[in-house]
Amino acid sequence: MYPRVVRYVLLMAASLALVACETKVKPQSEPPADKGAKPPVDKSGQPPVDMAASAKAAEILDTAIAAYGGLENLKKVEAWTASSTGVYMGMPFEATSTYHKGEIRMDITMHDGEHKAMVQGERNCWTRTGLVVTSCPEQERRANRELSTYEQAMQLWPLKEGGWKLVGSETSIDDKPYPSLTISKPGLDGEGKLVFHPETNLIVQAVFPGEMHGRKNTFSVGLSHYHKDCGIMMARETKTTFGGLEFIDENFAGFHCGPVDPNLFIEPLQVASGTTQEKTAGASTLACRVVKGEYTQIGAVMPELMNFVGKKRFTPVGSPIMVYVKASPEVKTPAEYVTEVCIPVSAKPPDKPLMEGDFMIKGMAPIKVLAMYGIGDYSKKSGELAGLLMEELAKRKLKAAGALRQVTHHNPNLIPVEKLVSEMQVPIK
């Protein structure tokens, strides 16, 4: 992400909504591996199959499938809708999810009133924040395809279709053995694990590798509060962590199975250049780098800011914002410019701005703004967009109540320059 909004991981509630309540798992003790030894191979050149582990895996899988409602019922669930509430990185939200044959759409309202729509699937992958549409770049599509494959495995029936290697074992949770399946497939990074409750035989935890913000780590996905929906058992309370850090808690009101409109998953048109609207910019916590002088410094500052965000263990939750604290015509020369280069992050806002060298952490209260959208090279469009916005401000007989701000919605390293969308804002009374 640049910093990418973590929109695509909100879509982790794919398939049977098997996303998560993390349970602390105590790994089983294993003898140290002999790294110099190679496993024996049969005449086909393949490592021999552990028949005991394979038989145990088949038993665990068949028992779980029966507990969920049976193979045929699992396969029948091709489309559903569900409403949910939750907390995403400390921010409350409400959502409506729509699932159809491997694709999922989430329509989300955040605590500050901001609306998002997100779609993830093999054919379609995009997000819309307000009026701005962002197609998933190939790097993100690749990461999502791996996540989607693991998520589909959590439906269990795909594990019966072949192509997966399954190893049955036990995982210790609170000193109690839980049946487990280690799952892997050619082309996937690493391996995943499904942990089943010893009495209900339903999944209580899934662990698999993934990527977020360009960082590879482990997703821990668990499930609780099962109900029978759509003819099968489905989890209604979930929690997800990434790299051990809390990510999203979600509570589902229930699932409705039936036909859905496939057009919901088609990418909408991009906002038109010159579109203007009055809106409220929501509250957020910003990590900023104060830049004095020419705007040409901003490109070099962004990596420094991202390093600062990483060191503070913050997670970016929005697009970069440039606040033009001192700019023309207020000051006469570029040497006098003062710009705050900021990134919204997942952190509690401080009571007052905190300075750490050239970096600053501050809270931003909700504020009404007049916004205008532009498409194209950020460096070439900024001045033009600012001038047009101030003309529109005068036409509407509105008064500015703060410094101009520019939101850059797309990563220029991933999106063609002619498709970059920026949003110039001026606070209004």
Between 34-43, 78-87, 281-290, the lowest mean confidence (pLDDT) is in: 34-43
Average pLDDT over residues 146-170: 90
Q: Which domains does the chain have, with CATH numbers?
A: 7-24+50-265 (2.50.20.10), 276-427 (3.20.80.10)
8 Å CB contact between 240 and 102: no
Average pLDDT over residues 216-244: 92
Q: Mapping DSSP to helix (H, G, I), strand (E, B) and coil, where does residue 262 land?
A: helix
Judged against a pLDDT cut of 50, whether residue 45 lies above it is answered with: no
Rounded Cα distance, 150 and 204, in Å: 15
Per-residue pLDDT tens over the stretch 256-266:
999 999 999 99
Mean pLDDT estimate for the chain:
84
Q: Give me the pLDDT at residue 329, please.
A: 85
Judged against a pLDDT cut of 90, whether residue 317 lies above it is answered with: no
Q: Give me the pLDDT at residue 43, please.
A: 40
Per-residue pLDDT tens over the stretch 371-406:
999 999 998 888 999 999 999 999 999 999 999 999
Judged against a pLDDT cut of 80, whether residue 238 lies above it is answered with: yes
Judged against a pLDDT cut of 50, whether residue 13 lies above it is answered with: no
Judged against a pLDDT cut of 60, whether residue 8 lies above it is answered with: no
Residue environment code for 387-403, b if the CB has 16+ CB neighbours within 10 A, otherwise e: ebbbebbeeeeeeeeeb
Percent pLDDT > 90 in the chain is 60
Per-residue pLDDT tens over the stretch 115-128:
899 998 878 999 99
Model confidence at 214, pLDDT cuts 50, 70, 90, reads: low
Residue environment code for 144-171, b if the CB has 16+ CB neighbours within 10 A, otherwise e: bebbbbbbbbbbbbbbeeeebebbbbbb
Cis peptide before 3 (omega within 30 of 0): yes
Q: Are strands 321-326 and 232-242 parallel, antiparallel or unpaired?
A: unpaired
Percent pLDDT > 70 in the chain is 86
Per-residue pLDDT tens over the stretch 321-353:
999 999 988 888 999 999 999 999 988 899 999
Between 12-16, 33-37, 161-165, the lowest mean confidence (pLDDT) is in: 12-16
6 vs 208 pLDDT, higher one: 208
Length of the chain: 429
Rounded Cα distance, 326 and 147, in Å: 44
* CB contact set of 188 (below 8 Å; sequence gap of 6+): 146, 149, 150
